[in-house]
Each structure stands twice: as C-alpha cells, then as structure tokens.
Structure 1
C-alpha cells in the first residue's frame, strides 16, 4: 500500500504530491448480490444504462461514469478523489523524482494557485519565475474559468514543447508572461552546505522516493566537517510527499522513540512507527525550520524530532495537514480511488490536522531595519532593497530571519 502525505494537491508541474500515499490491494472484495453495496451499485448501473440507450443525444459514456464517480467522492473530505489513468500517471511521475515539465512546485488552495518552489536549473527558474508568484493562466486558459487541477494537469507535455504562463507578482502592477520550454526535470529534493565551520544546513524541498537516500548522502558529506556541532534542517515551503519517505528521513535523525502514530477506522490504519537504532548523525544539536507552507510529511518529520526532544523547532505554525490518503485500484488500467484512510499524530499524541506543528521558538520570516545607517550583522548573504516611508529612506532587509535566528541559537546555546 502506498501512502501520500501532503496539503491539498501540490504539483511539480506534472505531478501532485502533498498527500500521504499508500497503494492498497484491489480493495474490492466480492460482495453477495443481496448486500446494500451491490444493490446501490446496481441502481447506478441501471441509471447509466437507461441514459446510454434512451437519452435523446449520444453521450460519452466513459465521461458519464467518471462524472458519477467524482460526484460520489465529492461528498468526502477534500483530499479524497478519483484519479483517472492520466492523473495517476501524473502522480507517479512526481513522487518518482523525475518528470518532463518546467520545474515548478505549486500549492493549490480554494482561492488560488501559488508557486512555492522552483528547482535548480529548471526552465521556470531560468526564465525569472519566482516563489510566491500566483498563477493566472496557462496557455491562455484562465485559472478563474477552469478547474485548477484539470488546468494544471495540462502543464504536462513532451520535452521541447512550449508552455505559456501568466502570473501575478506582489508589488508588480502588471501581469507577467513567460514562455517556458518543457524539458526532463530530475528533481533533487535535497540540498546542503556548511554555513560556518561548525554548523551545517540541509534543505528538503519535498518527500519523494529518492529523498531518504539523498538525505543520507548529504549527512555523510556534512559529517566530514571536523568541527561540526550543529545542523539546521530546513522544512519550510515543503508541501509533503510520501509517508515512507518521511518515516525513513525521520529515522536518520533518531536512535529510538516513536516517529508518528496513525489512527483510522479499519485495523491496518492504526499503526505506531518506531525509529530504528542507529542515528546517522549523532552528537550534534539540530534546529528545524518550519513555516505556514510546511505540510504533511514535513510536519511528520518536524513533529518526530520535536516530540523526541532531538531538535528545537524554529519559525511559524505549520500548515496542519495531518491525514493519510491511500490509493485503491478500481480496475486494471482504469485509474485509482484516493481515499483518506487515517489521521496521524505526533509522538506526544498531538493531532496535526487543522492545527499544525507549533514551533518551540516563534520567529517571523522577515525583519525591517529602520535606517540605512543601522549596521547589518548577519553571517548569511542578504538581498537588500531600498524603499521610502514618506520622505524617510529605510532599508528593508530581505534576509532570512528564521535561518539567522536558528544559526545564532546553535552557535550560542543557552
């Protein structure tokens, strides 16, 4: 069974993560013909057949069936859905870590679609698209006139083909247009570097099939630093991904204890996941960074390290997506049913869904320096812009305040 974790649908432009995914068996045991489920199915079948044979106009029968299934699933929570064969292929591409697209990671809410991450070397990044841009249209199709998930599925295409993207950027009076050439994207979900002689930085963008090995390799390289005493694990803007990936990554930082607990209505959904003996990077202090766009699998890892007192969590309240979706094949080659089958809880038993992870130290994302004469003391590079407040010239430091605070805490522990 494959489990997905994520907040709503998050697209790597050609894929959706953000669910906790589990691939179940066929899920359809044989039912006696007198059972309520069989009788209900027979009623739906009868209606479809009457429409197929007697309706005045010819209709696309497959589309009719898909719409009927979608109508049934729409009465469940917003994370449950029916994925046709194309949507399922799209999802599989994303969680595998490879796909053909433009290298953007998007988050969908009821109000908007926002770009939350761009992959290094991607067409979107090279063209000047930035995180925080809101999608207005794709290939001339306005998002306001379309189903967001259907429109975003259209972003997939063969390598070498063009995609026309229109976005709205905060502070820009006009919409921005980009012509992006799709190409094969090798999604690297992990990056790392040394911030100074004693502190390492590890960023996880999402939880794909390759993430645990990427993290293990990164930790091995970082551990070579002779004076290493601290690590900052950055889970900000991480929308989630695969449950198994989150479990394996959390296990790399723990030597014992509970990683996460899941609870559901059927027996197999109730599980307590424990860490295995053998932490990969022991003896150092860890700071975890989260924000309001850290969701699902990212919240599992943050909650596991916080709940086992292995790390101090800095930043802002996380998103609060604490449910698991399981994939149940409907018929061979005919798509899958994605159902929410469980909720998950931190080692301390705290519910995450709708609440999120509360940081140990709340740190806002940015600070404003009131004067150009104020010296900026920051060991990290700053991207500084000048603005005016009335006639007063002020300096807005677009600095990473959360990273800076975590670094100071590790360098100067209480």
Structure 2
C-alpha cells in the first residue's frame, strides 16, 4: 500500500468531444488526473502521453464505437501508466479496487487473522496474529510453526479452502519443542490491526502493523507511550517490520510521540505547502488542530525495526527518527517508496487510480530519499523465529542496552 493519503475521491469524467463510450470516459478521467493532479518526479510529457495512448484506445475501440466497454480501456490505461515511469502510480481494475478498500479502511471479512511466512519443507511460521481474530481466540502466537491441517501436510490451498467454507479445521502446530493441536474456524472479524505493546523487562515493544486510515493508529501509539511511561520503562522499540504504510497523518501524529518537532514541504501540481508536527498538533498553512488526546512524548532511548517490506509511511517514520537523531533504525533497506505520497481516485466503472500527487523535501530543499538505509543492518530469520528466536528484535534490545550504557552498536 504505498505512501497513501487515503482519500477516495470521485474523479471527473469529462469526455473529449465526440467521445461517449464507457472506455473513452474512463480514459479521459485518467488522463485529466495525470495532467492536473500528478505531483511525482516523472519528467514524461503527459500531454504527449495522452495523445499517444488516445490513438491506441481508438484502435482498440474501432469496432464497438460508442459501445466500447470499460474493460477495453484497461490494458491501454495500464500501458499508459507504465510509460509514465512512476512505479508509485498504478491503475486498479474494479476487483483489485474492492480488495484495496477492504484492506485500507479496515473492513471486516471472513479470516483467521494470521500472517504467515514460508519455511523450509513447506511449513509456515506465524508472524502476526490480529487481536480479536479467530487465531487470537485459540491462542496462536508469533513464531508458531504450522505443519499440518486436519492430519494432512500443510498447504496454502487447504487453508484457503477451509477459510472460504468457514469450517473448523485442526491445525498441527509446533511451538519451540512443544507439539500442539488447535481447532479453529475462520470468522468474520475486522482487518483493522491497531498498535499494541508487550513488555520485555524494562523495555516496551510497540508494534505498529499499519498506518491504516480512519483514525485510531496515532491515538493508540500515544496511549501506549503514556502507558509505558507509567510503567517506568527504560527504553522503547518501535516495530515497523512489514508495515506497508497507510495514512500519512496517522503516521505523522505517531512520529510526534518520539520526535519533538519536524517540518516537511509538499511539492504538488498546485504549489508547495509546509506541514509542521509537534506535540500531537498538525499545522498546515495558517491552520492547526490537535490530532490526539493527551499527547505523549518519549525522550528516552529508542530503536526502530524495519524490513524490506516496510514502505511508505513507515519509511517516513524511520526517516524522521534518523533525521532528529532520536534513535537507531535497525534492519534491512526498506521498500523504496518513502519520498512521495499518493492519493486514490475512484473512476467510472468502479475502477481507481493510485496517483502520485506529492513529493517531499525538507524546508532547506533537501529531498527525501526513496528508501531508508538502517543505522544497524540486520534481517529477520524465520527459521530461527520458528524456534523462538526473534533475531532482529534481539538486536534492537541490544542497541537499547548499549544506548543506556553509552556504548555504540554497529
């Protein structure tokens, strides 16, 4: 999900003279958005791009004329966007757009509520359990190794089939050296995976799985930081591994629990604007608003964990922590979508376009880089995770310990 200011807006569907087919209407909407709202880094001449692909659409619709259907335009538009050369901008066909909406707005669906990674031999390891889900209810945990379903060797097809039916299954699980068997049935539960914390001695580990739009993430982060302070922790690890992004404001408000103040300049097709975030307050232009209740601020030692799947808003989070020298970032180089923001525009025919509308610089003009290079390199080892060792988290804990002792870790 990329650097998303997730604001679903209806795109204008103004057709060119003499063009009345659904395919043409869709193509016109996309082309107008590319012309008038694109704020990315592509230098392609977008007027010439429209002219080039208008000819291709004319050829595709030659036989159907005004009856040319929406789906005839899909491959033309997809090629047009590829030619733009911005890998953050892409077209969503209707089916993909419906899935995106469910994912990005936290709707409910039939699910187990677990995220998995491949292991050798075809097994899977649980990397995430969504609170309130079916998997959470039967006690599955991060690091559990799934080895069988109903007495058969584990396979994704078996899991998917049982989920679709909503029928109970028996999962054969290994937790370290212990063999377990749990019965679970997929249930309708929210996909809204909000921040949560666990305490390892005197360190709080705050897991932020996503910066999903709709409120709740930033408030949750501030509440967890306030709770950690009441518990008297000596350090905080913020876990952004596999966080694919979401809403930039939720992200910015979350950052403000760790970075005292930061300013970012947005460069768009409509001009430049600066945003300053401090103490849970968002300031844009001459206006400001308090975005969280009882804002927290953690000024003690901290570390941020990232992976190669950490993208978009999570890259912004890590970068502001680095820029302010508030803590060390630990993990792999991130996905590389951390210098722009996209907006999703709904199109005629229930399709959509995710369009880069903004790219960012610091107030002095310094551009944001595409990806985060961690201060301390490391990577998840899922085979070790299935044996109870979270190596990247352990590295983060070591960094906090060294920070308290005044000893650098590389």
> Is this a same-fold pair by TM over 0.5?
yes
Matching of residue 326 in structure 1 with residue 343 in structure 2: yes
d(CA) in 2 for partners of 1:75 and 1:366?
A: 37
| Structure 1: tracts of 5 or more residues without a match | 1-16, 108-113, 141-154, 165-177, 369-381, 386-395
Matching of residue 69 in structure 1 with residue 84 in structure 2: no
Pair 261,360 (structure 1): closer, same or farther in 2 beyond 3 Å: farther
Pair 81,67 (structure 1): closer, same or farther in 2 beyond 3 Å: same
d(CA) in 1 for partners of 2:353 and 2:201?
A: 48
TM score, norm. by length of structure 2:
0.63
d(CA) in 2 for partners of 1:346 and 1:123?
A: 44
1:324–1:343 Cα contact (<8 Å) kept: yes
How big is the shift at 1:299?
Answer: 0.9
1:51 to 50, 59, 63: 63
Question: Could you report, residue by residue, the CA deviation over 1:138-169 in whole angstroms, capped at 9, with x for unpaired residues?
Answer: 659xxxxxxxxxxxxxx7999864699xxxxx
State the secondary structure of the residue aligned to 2:261.
Answer: coil
How big is the shift at 1:275?
Answer: 1.4
1:407 to 400, 403, 407: 400
Pair 106,366 (structure 1): closer, same or farther in 2 beyond 3 Å: closer
d(CA) in 2 for partners of 1:292 and 1:283?
A: 27
d(CA) in 2 for partners of 1:129 and 1:306?
A: 28
Pair 83,180 (structure 1): closer, same or farther in 2 beyond 3 Å: farther
Structure 2 partner of 1:95? 104
d(CA) in 2 for partners of 1:51 and 1:285?
A: 67
Structure 1 partner of 2:7? 23
Pair 99,271 (structure 1): closer, same or farther in 2 beyond 3 Å: farther
Which structure 2 residues correspond to residues 212-227 of structure 1 after superposition, within 5 A?
Answer: 212-225=218-231, 227=232
How big is the shift at 1:272?
Answer: 3.4
State the secondary structure of the residue aligned to 2:220.
Answer: helix
Aligned residues: 328
Pair 310,27 (structure 1): closer, same or farther in 2 beyond 3 Å: same
1:96–1:208 Cα contact (<8 Å) kept: yes
TM score, norm. by length of structure 1:
0.63
1:232–1:406 Cα contact (<8 Å) kept: no
Pair 132,254 (structure 1): closer, same or farther in 2 beyond 3 Å: farther
Question: Could you report, residue by residue, the CA deviation over 1:108-142 in whole angstroms, capped at 9, with x for unpaired residues?
Answer: xxxxxx99644346456868997999xx98659xx
d(CA) in 2 for partners of 1:357 and 1:70?
A: 29
1:79–1:325 Cα contact (<8 Å) kept: yes
2:61–2:72 Cα contact (<8 Å) kept: no
Matching of residue 315 in structure 1 with residue 325 in structure 2: no
Which structure 2 residues correspond to residues 190-205 of structure 1 after superposition, within 5 A?
Answer: 190-197=195-202, 199-205=203-209
Matching of residue 228 in structure 1 with residue 256 in structure 2: no
2:168–2:186 Cα contact (<8 Å) kept: yes
1:344–1:352 Cα contact (<8 Å) kept: no
How big is the shift at 1:337?
Answer: 1.6
d(CA) in 1 for partners of 2:310 and 2:331?
A: 10
How big is the shift at 1:190?
Answer: 1.1
Pair 401,70 (structure 1): closer, same or farther in 2 beyond 3 Å: same
State the secondary structure of the residue aligned to 2:344.
Answer: strand
**Higher helix content, 1 or 2:** 2
How big is the shift at 1:248?
Answer: 1.8
Pair 383,66 (structure 1): closer, same or farther in 2 beyond 3 Å: closer
Which structure 2 residues correspond to residues 247-258 of structure 1 after superposition, within 5 A?
Answer: 247-258=252-263
State the secondary structure of the residue aligned to 1:74.
Answer: helix
1:305 to 321, 336, 348: 321
Structure 2 partner of 1:267? 270
Pair 138,179 (structure 1): closer, same or farther in 2 beyond 3 Å: farther
1:88–1:336 Cα contact (<8 Å) kept: yes
Pair 315,84 (structure 1): closer, same or farther in 2 beyond 3 Å: closer
Question: Could you report, residue by residue, the CA deviation over 1:2-38 in whole angstroms, capped at 9, with x for unpaired residues?
Answer: xxxxxxxxxxxxxxx3342343755548688599899
| Structure 2: tracts of 5 or more residues without a match | 19-46, 118-124, 147-153, 170-182, 281-294
2:248–2:313 Cα contact (<8 Å) kept: yes
Pair 244,156 (structure 1): closer, same or farther in 2 beyond 3 Å: farther
Pair 39,60 (structure 1): closer, same or farther in 2 beyond 3 Å: closer
State the secondary structure of the residue aligned to 2:350.
Answer: coil
